Amino acid sequence: MIVMKFGGTSVEDAAAMERVCEIVRCRLSSKPVVVVSAMAKVTDQLVAMGQAAGRSDSDSALAMSRAMRERHYNAASELLGTGLFTRFHAELESDFNALDELLRGIAAVGEITPRSTDAVLSFGERLSSKIVAAAFSAHGINSALVDARACIITDTTHTRALPLFDEINARLLAQVQPLIQQGIVPVMGGFIGATLTGTPTTIGRGGSDFSAAIVGGGLNAERIEIWTDVDGMMTTDPRLCPQARRIKEISFDEAAELAYFGAKVLHPATMLPAIQKNIPVHVLNSRNPKNEGTRITARAPHCRNAIKSIAVKKRITIVDLVATRMLMAHGFLRSVFEVFDRHRCPVDMVSTSEVSVSLTIDSNEAIPAIANDLQKLADVKYAGRKAIICLVGENVRETPGIAGQVFGSIADVNIRMISQGASEINISFVIDEDDVPRAVQLLHQKFFAEVDPAIFE
Ligand code: ASP
Ligand code: MG
């Protein structure tokens, strides 16, 4: 069997769901289980509704819910046609009535908790999965709706609940496996689950990929397909460099480095259940299903190019600490990191010398307050509008002189900080945001003027 996960843009309206029907139809012989996100933007809108209700503004919350109701009814009636929709309508209606009742309840209390947030958010995937399952049936695909809340069992850490794998795997085998064996396509919502006592939970924003990996891992899938709206992973952002090429094959480790540095296609932490079972993950484009996309596997095949991809993370602030007296004294770095910790600000890159420490953080409003606290430990300077450039590839660790090639090709770009990760498969450095397009184009020209046809298209 395989898992096919469709993201929000792949189910954003009737036309998109129509494409999903055709894509799934072509895969029926592989015995798919389909996992869907909420329709695009719906989760954000549910968050906004919950917050409005939490401020006791039930008028705004209910107005937003009305608009969402319209959108779902429209998509469903377009997909199903008037006859089928008349019968299906009541199912959507009862969900939206339940949502409105929940919003009124939250507004009456005037407080939104993580637990009630999850209850509100759960409607996005409950609705999209219902519509997709109905659309499959209407298009002659034998399918069954599986309630994710009955299978994806989690702890009670609302809004970022942790899956209870043993429980989940048992339920997948009991509830989903038999459907597959009967030639039925199970359809379920990603992102949502429930506690052992049946209270709805969610597993973190963007969590549908994680759901797909959990299902694939639990059912020992042959592969997991992540259907999105791009042709897979690229050698760099094509908006920065039109010569960017598609990467056909990449390893989980490489994909992890890229995701961390802002390649938003897929978050590999969410692929852990697939990695552990050595299940390949394919990133594919639902608007261009003929394209082979990117295949992510535990071990990427040999590649003749020194690197696989150049990732960019913008809106970085670099913080320089100079402390002739205190630096490297016992406990100094700990006090520095405690400051960032107190402000809940993750640090990306760190580099130190005898008398200074430089770090990078995502630009954020707390920076003046952080600098103020750091001032007690050292002289502080900070500068925003920086970017991290990250070159990733398994070959980095075996290519002598690669740093020379990297920095030689951008000799006139001012480099503010350099780090070569312990994973040995990336070289990262910090430059001014304004230099990003030029640096990326020069690096791309240097490393991808010729590409290994087995790995890149
Ligand atoms: N709908 C959820 C979100 O927007 C989960 C997902 O799309 O992966 O975060
Ligand atoms: Mg998504």
Q: Using one digit for the tens of pLDDT, what is the confidence trace for 266-281?
A: 776 788 899 899 999 9
HSE of 255, CA atoms in CB hemisphere, 13 A: 29
269 token code pair: 């932490």
Average pLDDT over every residue of 14-34:
98
207 lines ligand 1 (CB under 6 A): yes
The Cα–Cα gap between 342 and 72 comes to 43
Report for 168-177, 233-242, 292-301, 319-328: range of highest mean pLDDT? 168-177
Give yes or no for a contact between 212 and 3, defined as CB atoms under 8 angstroms apart: yes
Average pLDDT over every residue of 199-204:
97
- 83-97, 172-186, 411-425: which range is least confident on average? 411-425
Neighbours of 70 (CB within 10 A): 11
pLDDT at 162 over 90: yes
Q: What's the pLDDT at 352?
A: 86
Percent of residues, the chain, with pLDDT higher than 90: 84
CA distances for 124 relative to 118, 133, 191, 345, 450, angstroms: 10, 14, 9, 30, 45
* 27-57 confidence digits (pLDDT tens): 999 999 999 999 999 999 999 999 999 999 9
Pocket test residue of 208, 214, 227 for ligand 1, highest count of atoms within 8 A of CB: 208
Q: What's the pLDDT at 267?
A: 73
Q: What's the pLDDT at 18?
A: 98
pLDDT at 260 over 90: no
Label the pairing between strands 185-189 and 32-36.
Answer: parallel
What is the chain's mean pLDDT, rounded?
94
Residue with tokens 């010569």: 243
Domains and CATH numbers, the chain: 2-229 (3.40.1160.10), 309-447 (3.30.2130.10)
270 lines ligand 1 (CB under 6 A): no
- Quote the strand ranges of 106-258, DSSP E: 143-145, 185-189, 192-194, 200-202, 223-228, 249-251
Average pLDDT over every residue of 319-328:
78
CA distances for 394 relative to 26, 188, 249, 309, angstroms: 34, 36, 12, 11
Residue 420, classed as helix, strand or coil, is strand
4 token code pair: 């096919």
* 352-375 confidence digits (pLDDT tens): 887 889 999 999 999 999 999 999
* 83-126 confidence digits (pLDDT tens): 999 989 999 999 999 999 999 999 999 999 999 999 999 999 99
Average pLDDT over every residue of 296-313:
92
Ligand 1 atom nearest to CA at 124: 1
CA distances for 64 relative to 49, 99, 386, angstroms: 7, 11, 38
Q: What's the pLDDT at 264?
A: 63
Q: What's the pLDDT at 199?
A: 98
Q: Using pLDDT thresholds of 50, 70 and 90, give the confidence band for residue 326.
A: low
CA angle 306, 307, 309 (to 5 degrees): 160
Distance 332 CA to ligand 1 centre (A): 40
Q: Using pLDDT thresholds of 50, 70 and 90, give the confidence band for residue 330.
A: confident
Q: What's the pLDDT at 397?
A: 86
pLDDT at 70 over 80: yes
Distance 98 CA to ligand 1 centre (A): 21
Distance 297 CA to ligand 2 centre (A): 21
Label the pairing between strands 223-228 and 2-6.
Answer: parallel
- 104-118, 185-199, 260-274, 294-308: which range is least confident on average? 260-274
pLDDT at 421 over 90: no
Pocket test residue of 152, 191, 227 for ligand 1, highest count of atoms within 8 A of CB: 191
Give yes or no for a contact between 313 and 419, defined as CB atoms under 8 angstroms apart: no
Q: Using pLDDT thresholds of 50, 70 and 90, give the confidence band for residue 21.
A: very high
The Cα–Cα gap between 292 and 288 comes to 9
pLDDT at 262 over 60: no
